[in-house]
Amino acid sequence: MQLSIPKGFFMGAAMSGPQTEGAYKKDHRLESFWDTWSDLSISDFYNKVGSYVGNNFYEKYEEDIKLFKSLHLDSFRTSIQWTRLMDQNQKLNPEGAAFYHKVCACAKDNGIELFMNLYHFDMPAYLYARGGWENREVVEAYATYARTAFREFGKEIRYWFTFNEPIVEPDQEYRSGNWYPFIKDERRGLQVQYHIALAHSLAVREFHKAKEEGYLLDDAQIGLINAFAPPYTKENPTPEDLEALRMTDGIHNRWWLDLCTSGTLPKDVFDTLKEYHAAPEVRPGDEEILKCGRVDWLGFNYYQPTRVQAPKEKLDESGYPRFADPYIWPERRMNVYRGWEIYPKGIYDFGMKMKREYPEMKFFISENGMGVEHEDRFRNEDGEIQDDYRIEFVRDHLEWVFKAIEEGAQCVGYHYWGVIDNWSWSNAFKNRYGFIEVDLMNNYERRLKKSARWIKDLIEQRDNGED
């Protein structure tokens, strides 16, 4: 199939502040949750590479934005680091702000649209020490941070996002215990998730206030980004499998989709949580706050589908509810390096779900990408990484994106995750995602991979009007 990118469709790059900037002590940047974890236990990070370095975007942002331009990418997302923009008294740190002003100016000079996210798993350490998202004061502090950012950069940024994947911290830090502080407590996870929903809603409220007061561009938009993939179960499901599907979809997807489209959280999910005595604590006035959570559009990060089945036990070893067990689809195709299933059709299924259930809401693919270990072995004689697997991955996904659009999905763009190799949490630089390689042994030098030339040609065809 010949891929042809529609006019006006965003084709860009996705990245985040904490995974790229480095310079972790510059500009009086505060310590983050990730720095604390790196200091405490560096062996938890692949090759003992902690959160300190990123890919040196802090020094290289001009070069990187020019590279985006040279690949014909028209937009890119990054995030402001809360730890860089604000001081511990919750006032603007002018040195940190200066860096983001430079990034905004550089994007503008290169004619690239900047999408700015406010939070990408990067809690300031001093707030984490006060209980992080379990503490309502932190929710308030986030709203203050959002207000400050809207007012400081309101005339420079059109596309704003409150959170990237708000599901990940409750999951990784509190439910599955994969990330520091390795807690496995469904109830605490749900409380954290609920507080993030409040934080998001307060930030959207701040966004509207800032707009009314003339701080923002007239056409500024606010959104939320999540890994919204609809879950699948077995072919001939039992009622219990369908129940597992309902709760997985409810907690991971509908929670955010309902909040962002109607300013409410799904009642059926809360009812079930109450049966298990696992519902989050709700305070008077919260309902009003959540009503502010509606957004202009959504970002959909997609790497892999979720497949679930009825849980073997209804409670886990600590007596917390267990709503689903993973289901291994016999026909699955794997990215063996990352351990994630590759299922491009999931992107289309999401588009169709949006069309059916939330027809007013537009979205873009805000992350999609393929992480591969030891890419060195794919170098040709000229030293260029021949990442044909990545080209195939992106092509397969784009085909399903365009099919969904043809069938009425309101998908308005595609951002590839990790256009430039970056630091990926506890996996550090293990899996490389980029169209552009970063040489860690050679001053973070950037080098194009084969996929970079491929994406450039693809977008160029559109830009030259060759439909």
Q: How many chain residues are in contact with ligand FCB, going by CB under 6 A?
A: 9
341 tagged catalytic: no
**Nearer of residues 148 and 162 to ligand FCB, judged by Cβ:** 162
Closest distance to ligand FCB from the beta carbon of 432 (Å):
11
Under rule CB under 6 A, residue 253 binds ligand FCB: no
Binding mask 403-442 for ligand FCB (x = CB under 6 A): --------------x------xx-----------------
Answer for the pair 153, 114: CB distance below 8 angstroms, yes or no: no
Number of other residues whose CB lies within 10 A of the CB of residue 34: 26
3: phi then psi, degrees, rounded to nearest 5:
-85, 135
For residues 205 and 220, what is the distance between their CA atoms, to the nearest angstrom? Answer: 14
Q: Are strands 362-367 and 411-417 parallel, antiparallel or unpaired?
A: parallel
Under rule CB under 6 A, residue 343 binds ligand FCB: no
**Nearer of residues 31 and 165 to ligand FCB, judged by Cβ:** 165
Closest distance to ligand FCB from the beta carbon of 366 (Å):
9
Closest distance to ligand FCB from the beta carbon of 424 (Å):
5
Residue nearest to ligand FCB (CB): 424
Q: Tell me, letter by letter, the H, E, C secondary structure of 38-106.
A: HHHCHHHCHHHCCCCCCCCHHHHHHHHHHHHHHCCCCEEEEECCHHHHECCCCCECHHHHHHHHHHHHH
Q: How far is CA 466 from CA 70, 402, 406, 459, in A?
A: 18, 17, 19, 10
Q: Which of 173, 367, 375, 437 is an active site residue?
A: 367
**Nearer of residues 270 and 340 to ligand FCB, judged by Cβ:** 340
Under rule CB under 6 A, residue 164 binds ligand FCB: yes
Q: Are strands 340-341 and 334-335 parallel, antiparallel or unpaired?
A: antiparallel
Under rule CB under 6 A, residue 165 binds ligand FCB: yes
165 tagged catalytic: yes
204: phi then psi, degrees, rounded to nearest 5:
-65, -40
R_g of the chain computed on alpha carbons: 21
Q: Are strands 10-14 and 411-417 parallel, antiparallel or unpaired?
A: parallel
- Return the C-alpha torsion angle 179, 364, 196, 370, nearest 10: 0
Under rule CB under 6 A, residue 226 binds ligand FCB: no
Select the residue interacting with ligand FCB from 172, 248, 301, 306 (CB under 6 A).
301
Q: Which of 21, 31, 152, 165 is an active site residue?
A: 165
Closest distance to ligand FCB from the beta carbon of 165 (Å):
5
Closest distance to ligand FCB from the beta carbon of 121 (Å):
7
Select the residue interacting with ligand FCB from 11, 16, 21, 307 (CB under 6 A).
16
How remote is the C-alpha of 185 from its chain's centroid? 23
Answer for the pair 104, 143: CB distance below 8 angstroms, yes or no: no
Answer for the pair 121, 196: CB distance below 8 angstroms, yes or no: no
Under rule CB under 6 A, residue 375 binds ligand FCB: no
**Nearer of residues 16 and 193 to ligand FCB, judged by Cβ:** 16
For residues 191 and 187, what is the distance between their CA atoms, to the nearest angstrom? Answer: 6
**Nearer of residues 329 and 425 to ligand FCB, judged by Cβ:** 425
**Nearer of residues 293 and 369 to ligand FCB, judged by Cβ:** 369
**Nearer of residues 27 and 367 to ligand FCB, judged by Cβ:** 367
Q: What residues line the site for ligand FCB (CB under 6 A)?
A: 16, 19, 164-165, 301, 367, 417, 424-425
Active-site residue set = 165, 367
